[in-house]
Chain A
Amino acid sequence: MTLADDSPRTVTAPAVPVPPDPTPPPVPRRRGPSLSRNRWGYAYVAPFFVVFGAFSLFPFLFTAWVSLHDARLSDIGGGTFVGLDNYAALLTNDFFWNALRNTITIGVLSTVPQLCLALGLAHLLHYKLRGRTFFRTLMLVPYATSIAAATLVFATLFGRDYGIINTALEAVGLDRIDWESGTLSSQVAIAVIVTWRWTGYNALIYLAAMQSIPGELYEAAEMDGASKWRQFLHVTIPSLRPTILFTVVVSTIGAVQLFGEPLLFGGNGATTGGARNQYQTLGLLMYQQGWTNFNIGQAATTAWAMFLIILAVVGSAALVGRYRARREGARR
């Protein structure tokens, strides 16, 4: 991992197509003579690492240790050492695979529409608008609403017998849906909650990136006679690609850790994620193992499995990105 050495025009800088530039622009890095080799660096990161080490790193490593034990919640430090048995058991555990499947489908169902809608919304917000601050602020209201409050309301809206979504479906001549008890329907409902909460936030990130797209690109496209739609497809989207990749990664991390929405969606505090575990995510499974079944060793194992999954997803995204980068580089 080479984070520290990379120049960081992350997120928003337009990737393609940049006007041909024979010499790469100077990258301002590792040049400052007096600020480099600066021992103050340690002092500046020290406050962070003191708190971080005490309150984040220790629990993290402790969890790894617990995952190697057959430990109960009430006696967390006193379980018997079982090596990798918990991990082996996890691989043959139907509940784990079910939760993994659910996490993936809910993740796809929420991330894809969320980011597409955010793009569209950002496009709209990019116009010259009356009350632009008002609209932008409005888009952030869902993010300011707590997961608990949002889920509580949506669970009511998605109610089988008295929810207004079903009332509306019936009014237009469709059948009522038992949202909570169906597999796909419950996952869609949860994805709707996630989408609702994060679309506006992502839209503003995209909007910021759009504003940094150089006007010349659009002018050039217009001269070529490209329609607004084609400009969106061939100028806006490619320019946003790094931002899009970034939001995909961040949403993926969020999706794998999804926990509050499926916990609260059932409305009766059950950690099973529905009667058939139809919307139990990995985060919820871990919670059930640890706090409902008191099997903290199993829960720690699931937590570490989640970590490894995220690592794999982000790692492969990184590889794709690198491959692309190389290809683009070769093209130039």
Chain B
Amino acid sequence: MTAVLTPPTPARTSGRRPGTKAGRAGPVAYTLLVLAGLLSVFPLYWSLVAGSHTNAEIAATPPPFLPNATFFENVSAAMDQAPLGLAIVNSVVVAGSITVGTVLFCTLAGFAFAKLRFRGSGGLLALVVGTMMVPTQLAVIPLFMMIAELKWVDSLQAVVLPTLVSAFGVFFMRQYLVTALPDELLEAGRVDGASTHRIFFSIVVPVARPAMAVLAMLTFLTAWNEFFWPIIALTAANPTVQVAIANLGSGYVPQRAVIMAGTLLGTLPVLLVFALLGKQIVGGIMAGAVKG
């Protein structure tokens, strides 16, 4: 497994000028990028269109290509059918807590695996990586039995706690910190008489920040979009966004326009985060990926 991930030749990061040979983009490059960008947002745009038209209208030939004000009617219909406002608040709480927990615990553990030597660390890390490969769907039954035992059914901690850590996160942070965090820096801290905790917060965390940003974003998106477990652990009375969306269009009749409108509304907060923090997030990925 490591052989896959580790290049045969050790690399040095000093004495190079990375990325200096990138040429200026020509018209062809811009055209292709614009095309890729359009493809990226098209399905979202299409859900805006579909959210503005009835089934009959959308099935017409040629189909409509523009959204209209009906969209807002459908949004409010969606909000009547499911407590989307509450759902968004819940999802922010859930995804936010999971993100904070994952980043914190995985950074702690990643640091320990990367830099602290203790008996059995190799075996433990192998265990962590091994579980990345386990299909998760089946875990819901025993998980639900535990949640029921704890009387957590329908409450948010039922969806927060089981996903509070991730094996991927530990592995990711560990891989990042092994190189990004020079032992000399830790030694210097040690010589100054700093405790391990002090070293963690004053030396490790600042160095780990780009990777933490990446992990935070991935975790937030995954948590936001998770529906398999929440749909079982929560009910429509206290839903996350994905649970609420799954409950849209109630009745024998699926009102697709309402479902589409609600779905788009549920994606909106994430898009907003992207629009506002795009630079930081993408920058974080860059920094993380270079080292991680």
Interface membership of B205, Cβ < 8 A: no
14 further contact pairs, Cβ within 8 A, besides A8-B178, A56-B167:
A11-B5, A13-B9, A15-B8, A44-B111, A51-B162, A54-B146, A55-B164, A60-B131, A148-B263, A208-B285, A215-B20, A257-B135, A307-B135, A319-B3
What does the 1/0 interface line of B250-292 toward A look like (CB < 8 Å)?
0000000001100110110011001100110110011111111
Give every chain B residue within 8 A of A126 (Cβ-Cβ).
19, 22
Interface membership of B132, Cβ < 8 A: yes
| A residues apposed to B, CB below 8 Å | 1-16, 18, 21, 24-25, 27-32, 34-42, 44-45, 47-49, 51-52, 54-60, 62-63, 66, 73, 76, 121, 124-130, 133-150, 152-154, 156-157, 161-162, 164, 167, 196, 200, 204-205, 207-216, 218-219, 228, 241-242, 245-246, 249, 253, 256-257, 259-260, 283, 286-287, 290, 296, 299-300, 303, 306-307, 310-311, 314-315, 317-322, 324-325, 328-329, 332
| B residues apposed to A, CB below 8 Å | 1-13, 16-26, 29-30, 32-33, 36-37, 39-41, 43-44, 46-47, 50, 58-59, 61-63, 101, 104-106, 108-109, 111-118, 121-122, 124-126, 128-143, 145-146, 161-165, 167, 170, 174-176, 178-179, 182-184, 186-187, 190, 196, 200, 221, 224-225, 227-228, 242, 245-246, 259-260, 263-264, 266-267, 270-271, 274-275, 278-279, 281-282, 285-292
Give every chain B residue within 8 A of A314 (Cβ-Cβ).
1, 4, 133
Whether B18 pairs with A242 at a CB distance below 8 angstroms is no
Whether A253 pairs with B40 at a CB distance below 8 angstroms is no
- Of the residues B133, B170, B224, contact of A311 by C-beta under 8 Å: B133
Whether A152 pairs with B263 at a CB distance below 8 angstroms is yes
Give every chain B residue within 8 A of A54 (Cβ-Cβ).
146
Whether A317 pairs with B4 at a CB distance below 8 angstroms is yes
Shortest distance from the beta carbon of B39 to any chain A beta carbon, whole Å: 7
Known contacts A35-B115, A41-B116: does B58 contact A242 (CB below 8 Å)?
no
Whether B286 pairs with A204 at a CB distance below 8 angstroms is yes
